Chains A and B, each alone.
Chain A
Amino acid sequence: MRNSALILIGLLFAFQSAIAKAKPTPTPSVSPTDTTIATDSVTPTPTPVKKAHWIPWPPIREEARTITFSVNGAYYDDGDRRGSSFSFVDIKAIRKIDEYFVTGEGSIRFLSATSTTDDAKQIDLRTAKVTLAENWFSASVGRMDVSEMLTTTRFFGRYPLMGLRRVTGACLYLPVKFLVGIEDYRNVSSPPTALTFWYLPNIFGDTTANVSGTQSLFLAQARARFKVSKIQTVLLINYGKSKSDFFNYSSINGNGTFSTAAEFTVANNYTAYGEFGIQNTSMTSGTSAFTYGVSLKRLGTFGPFSIDDLIFEMQVPVSKDLNNPFTGGDAVFPELAVLPQSALYIKLKARIRGIFVEADITNNQNDFTFADLNRLNTNSINLPLPLGPGYESDSTQIPFRSNSYDKYAMLIRVGIQF
């Protein structure tokens, strides 16, 4: 009898809840008709609108997306007369932010060496990302380019990610106030500070990577942007921790990895920047480096010739360790070990009318990246190498290095965008 009464009360409660849910709520419904929506209400009081029991997904429309193409020819020389040339086409599709505040991006690269064959030597899926944005957060998942978020440098840097630009994972961005106190209701514009979190299942090459979580890296960033006099300043502090220890001298070390970066911009076009990173916080000596540089944008137009971007960047190893395989060290064959040296990167991006001409020069040896591993310094024949690409230019995003510190590699690109 008692059980029956309880069941009856439960059924009544469920029925009442169902009726309550069926009642129209005063929440205004979001109409999926167009990207620009106007409500009928003039007063702040929302008018009761019957909530639709099913809302369709946004229609597929031509104006809801942007597709850009980049067609390029390039010449590459590593400084030892081993020149090669190739062509590549980038296709990037962006889903514009829709009525549900959802956006997405996908980009593909087709690369073919200069030859008579039509086959693409390389097809890359460079980004494939879905983003949900709200007024107080944005969340992304998929393959994404994190270089602009993680650092202020253009070529070197990104030490917690071993120099990687593109990773696959999830990202959460929250604009927050770091100062604790009573918030002034009048001042509710977004604060100049924010927190960003990344969860990356792995940062290795695809033949080594798995998503079991053992290779995962968790990253957190505190970001601040403020103005001092006429200097626009950006400060970043990154901290990461991996679940397991794969390489003591890498950021996947089971302990922690850290970097801090800053950027100072004057008149929107002239920027000085830098990043200091420690790839293993428990082994500061041997895993830390500093990058600094200057970027000059929109320098001028002379007839049909325009100078769009000029960059000087230098990477300086703060501490050196002959056992670090990511900086030329070799604990297996010590006689082969070398110490890291400072490396330079220069970029000139110009334009002849609408044709981009870019020249990149560096004596980079891929220090502090996965690309510096080899069979000898890892003493492994099972490890699929390379574990990751080396440093890439921010515009071409093609990894390139010189043959030695004494020689300069060169990458020249000519291309158009439409």
Chain B
Amino acid sequence: MRPSRLIPVLLLLAAPAFCGSDPFENVITKWAWAINELQSHRRESPVTYPPVNSQSSQTAPSGGHHAVKNHKAETTTTKPVDLPAPIKSTFKANTAWTGITANVIDFGTHFTVDVTTDQPANGWALKRQSTKEIVLKGSLNNQFYFQIDCPEKFVRDYGITVFIGDNSYPCFIQIFQ
């Protein structure tokens, strides 16, 4: 073999030594910084958040890009990288027929609402207040509790109408502040 043909092979083998262990290092570092900035910014809102921890990154499968990404994020920034935690909020309304308590859990990509009423309900409707659009609705069998699982991203626009009693009295609760 001629020595000139060995040069590309040697360069290829030595490339990691010049570029670092991961060719996506810069991108990962940039995104980790952005995620941490967003997290710290969101914590300033009045909605109560659960304590942030790094469990989400620890539970990521080891090896591959996940392991490299976490390692690099911890070494290049002071703040840990964490996935968006579910945001819990509670809203209450005292209407003419019933008291309503709505516990909203925002998972980022979707949200759930646990609704409890003082009087038996026979139906509900989840709607957007800006457009009056009915997003989800359902019927109940004189229930004091029901759960809504909405596949949409939570925005500060939703409200729930609960229909109470034999005459389906509409009782509305807004689920944002």
Q: Is the CB of A96 within 8 A of B122?
A: yes
- A263-293, CB under 8 A of B: which get 1 and which 0? 0000010000000000000000000000000
Q: Is the CB of B170 within 8 A of A136?
A: yes
Residues of chain B within 8 A of A103, CB atoms compared:
122-123, 163, 168
Bound-complex Cα distance A28 to B152 (A):
16
Residues of chain B within 8 A of A149, CB atoms compared:
167
Residues of chain B within 8 A of A133, CB atoms compared:
123, 163, 167-170
Bound-complex Cα distance A394 to B133 (A):
40
> Could you tell me how many residues of chain A have their Cβ less than 8 Å away from some Cβ of chain B?
54
Interface-side segment among A206-214, A224-232, A245-253, A308-316: A224-232
Cβ distance B101 to chain A, nearest Cβ, rounded Å: 12
Interface-side segment among B34-42, B74-82, B92-100: B92-100
Q: Is the CB of A98 within 8 A of B139?
A: yes
| B73 contacts partner chain A, Cβ-Cβ < 8 Å | no
Cβ distance A188 to chain B, nearest Cβ, rounded Å: 5
| A200 contacts partner chain B, Cβ-Cβ < 8 Å | no
Which of A98, A175, A226 sits near B170, CB closer than 8 Å? A175
Q: Which of A162-212 contact B (CB under 8 A)?
A: 171, 173, 175, 186-194
Interface-side segment among A35-43, A254-262, A395-403: A35-43
Contact status of A138 and B170, CB under 8 A, knowing A44-B128, A186-B177, A225-B95: yes
Residues of chain A within 8 A of B90, CB atoms compared:
none
Bound-complex Cα distance A224 to B138 (A):
27
Cβ distance B148 to chain A, nearest Cβ, rounded Å: 9
Residues of chain B within 8 A of A36, CB atoms compared:
136-138
Q: Is the CB of B96 within 8 A of A191?
A: yes
Bound-complex Cα distance A83 to B130 (A):
64
| B161 contacts partner chain A, Cβ-Cβ < 8 Å | yes
Q: Is the CB of B133 within 8 A of A28?
A: yes
Which of A97, A189, A224 sits near B172, CB closer than 8 Å? A189
Cβ distance B27 to chain A, nearest Cβ, rounded Å: 27
Bound-complex Cα distance A224 to B96 (A):
6
Cβ distance A187 to chain B, nearest Cβ, rounded Å: 8
Residue of B nearest to A95 (CB): B139
| A145 contacts partner chain B, Cβ-Cβ < 8 Å | yes
Q: Is the CB of B173 within 8 A of A223?
A: no
Q: Is the CB of A190 within 8 A of B172?
A: yes
Q: Is the CB of B174 within 8 A of A138?
A: no
Contact status of A131 and B168, CB under 8 A, knowing A38-B151, A99-B137, A191-B96: yes
Residue of B nearest to A45 (CB): B131
Q: Is the CB of B95 within 8 A of A35?
A: no
Bound-complex Cα distance A100 to B118 (A):
25
Q: Is the CB of B170 within 8 A of A135?
A: yes
| A305 contacts partner chain B, Cβ-Cβ < 8 Å | no
| B72 contacts partner chain A, Cβ-Cβ < 8 Å | no
Bound-complex Cα distance A133 to B157 (A):
22
Bound-complex Cα distance A223 to B171 (A):
14
Bound-complex Cα distance A169 to B105 (A):
43
Residues of chain A within 8 A of B152, CB atoms compared:
42
Contact status of A190 and B167, CB under 8 A, knowing A35-B137, A135-B161, A227-B94: no
Q: Is the CB of A148 within 8 A of B131?
A: no
Bound-complex Cα distance A133 to B125 (A):
11
| B56 contacts partner chain A, Cβ-Cβ < 8 Å | no
Cβ distance B87 to chain A, nearest Cβ, rounded Å: 18
Q: Which of A106-140 contact B (CB under 8 A)?
A: 129, 131, 133-138, 140
Q: Is the CB of B136 within 8 A of A190?
A: no
| Among all A-B residue pairs, the 9 with the closest Cβ atoms | A97-B123, A194-B96, A133-B168, A96-B139, A189-B93, A190-B95, A190-B172, A97-B139, A135-B161
Q: A135-B132, A149-B167, A190-B173 are in contact. List 11 more A-B contacts (CB 8 A).
A: A39-B133, A42-B153, A44-B155, A66-B141, A97-B122, A97-B168, A133-B163, A148-B166, A190-B93, A225-B94, A232-B118
17 pairs across A/B with beta carbons < 8 Å? A36-B138, A39-B134, A44-B157, A96-B122, A96-B141, A99-B137, A101-B168, A103-B168, A131-B166, A131-B168, A137-B170, A144-B166, A175-B95, A175-B96, A191-B96, A225-B97, A232-B118
